[in-house]
Amino acid sequence: MKSHYQILIIGGGTAGIMTASQLKRQRPELEIGIVEPADTHYYQPAWTLVGANSYNYEKTARPMSSLIPKGADWIKDYAETFQPEENAITTRSGDKISYDYLVVVPGIKIAAELVKGLPEAMESGAVCSNYTNPEHTWETLKAFKGGTALFTQPATPIKCGGAPQKIMYLADEHFRKTGVRNNTNIIFALPSPSIFGVKIIADTLMEVIDKKDINVRFFHKLVEVDGKNKIAWYEIEKDITAGGCVTLADGDESQLDHEIQYNYKDVQVSRDGDRYGIHFDIMHLAPPQSAPDFVRNSPLAADTGWIEVDSKTMQHIRYPNIFSFGDASNIPTSKTGAAIRKQAPVAVANILKMVDTDSISDKAYNGYTSCPLVTGYGKMVLAEFDYEKNFMPDPKLKKFPMMIKDSSKEHWRLWMLKKYGLPHLYWNKMMKGHEV
């Protein structure tokens, strides 16, 4: 292993492999090292479909060795500490590696410990999550015989903010096929006041909610999971002193606060002071997530724990030869592979310009990201938007034969894009260093 690289990349996920592949495709002579401990690279966007028995889990995995671009060195180790003043990092095994330019894209940490009782509940199988074990999600849905099916998401940033509700829509259809939907209440509890941050998409999703007869509980911040008794405890992130009930059993539904409750269902709820405990028979959640510990505790992090970069250039605010984007950065947009698809070319252009001239290019990221919102078997909405939450379809995706004129509406061709088109784009274009 070399002790110095022109460009050192931390992370072999979507962002790391894309960056290395694009750099090597444009400048094969560059000396590039990739620090990544994992043997396997996963196409995680398909895990929603795995959790609904519509995609083979094994097809989401490929050997890391098959994706490291030719001519780049794979450093199979963990990055442990940063010494940006020395242009160096130290690995877990104690090796010190210096660099001319550093790209920090280690992804995101599943931080179940941020919710009391959640690690134990996940370990025991009391709750399921596509984020950690989509095959267990399918086993859970398959065994469900009716009752309260609770779907929830945390108050932290998460990979693909739409994922917690995608599996809910698929579960609804599965329950209808198996005949248990008539004796089932589906509850979606989330901390925000809206089901999605882009209005045109939120309007479509609320139509789906109405059609599927799902109870949405807004302003619900998950604070504890009692796996043994199957209770999810929430605090309400809204001032309720002005009147209006949060939940109401055997009473007058007109007294409910309808900014909190939409399409109310009378499921069992316990109260403990200002906390409300929803009793469930099955529960799927996106666990809380955070920047990895070695990033959060490093000199590269902002006060929030995420890597502090310019949101347009991907360049670190304090260390100009360091770049970061994707899930571990503080870029104010959704943490998705689709965002990385547009961020990586900006970072690469700026790095190459710095190699040549010690200044960055005029290429800038406008905040584009997308979220393929599966709304049922054979149906999907494609949410594409920028920093200002403007609905902004990507002209490059429009070239796909699966695309339709208005992707803010449900369509079966968008499902085909999700299941077949996007995996092809990922493995054969993005991972190979093509700008798409």
Task: Give 325's pLDDT tier (boundaries 50, 70, 90).
Answer: very high
How many whole angstroms separate alpha carbon 260 and alpha carbon 219?
Answer: 6
pLDDT of residue 242: 67
Considering the domain 116-285 in this protein, what is its CATH number? 3.50.50.100
| Confidence at 145, pLDDT banded by 50, 70, 90 | very high
Inter-residue contact 103 to 79 (CB < 8 Å): no
Per-residue exposure over 138-167, b if at least 16 CB sit within 10 Å of its own CB, e if not: bebbeebebbbbbbbbbbbbbbbbbbbbbb
Per-residue pLDDT tens for 40-76? 999 999 999 999 999 999 999 999 999 999 999 999 9
Do domains 4-108+291-364 and 116-285 share one topology? The answer is: yes
Amino acid at residue number 325: F
**Roughly how many angstroms between the first and final C-alpha of the chain, as a whole number?**
32
Q: What would the mean pLDDT of 346-362 be, rounded to a whole number?
A: 97
Domain ranges, ordered by start, for the chain: 4-108+291-364, 116-285
The matching CATH number, chosen from 3.10.180.10, 3.40.50.300, 3.10.20.30, 3.50.50.60, for 4-108+291-364 is: 3.50.50.60
Task: Tell me which residue of 361, 300, 299 sits closest to 329, measured CA to CA.
Answer: 300
Give the burial class of 250: count Cβ atoms within 10 A of its Cβ; 0-12 exposed, 13-18 middle, 19 or more buried.
Answer: exposed
Beta-bridge partner residues of 231? 226, 279
Cα(69)–Cα(327) distance, integer angstroms:
22
8 A C-beta contact, residue 197 and residue 164: no
Active site residue 128: no
Residue 403 has a CB neighbour count (10 Å cut-off) of: 18
- Mean pLDDT to the nearest integer, 295-305: 97
CB atoms closer than 10 angstroms to residue 83: 13
Q: Which two tokens stand for residue 209?
A: 């909610």
Rounded distance between C-alpha atoms, residue 292 and residue 421, angstroms:
31
Using 50, 70 and 90 to split pLDDT, how confident is the model at 301?
very high
Main-chain phi, psi angles of 113, to 5 degrees: -65, -15
Asked whether residue 397 carries a pLDDT value surpassing 90, the answer given is no
Q: What is the pTM of this model?
A: 0.95
Q: How far is 51 from 344, CA to CA, in rounded Å?
A: 29
Q: What is the mean pLDDT of residues 370-374?
A: 96
Catalytic member of 20, 128, 160, 278: 160
Residue in this structure with the two tokens 């059993």, named with its chain if needed: 249
Tokens of 180: 């248990």
Sign of CA dihedral 7, 331, 153, 179: negative
d(CA 150, CA 164): 11
Q: Is 245 a catalytic residue?
A: no
Among the ranges given (98-102, 159-163, 362-366), the one the predictor scored with the smallest mean pLDDT? 159-163
List pLDDT tens digits, range 215-230. Answer: 999 999 999 999 999 9
Provide the 3-class DSSP secondary structure of residue 325: coil
Residue 427 has pLDDT above 70, yes or no: yes
User: Which of the residues 291, 371, 380, 417 is marked catalytic?
Assistant: 371
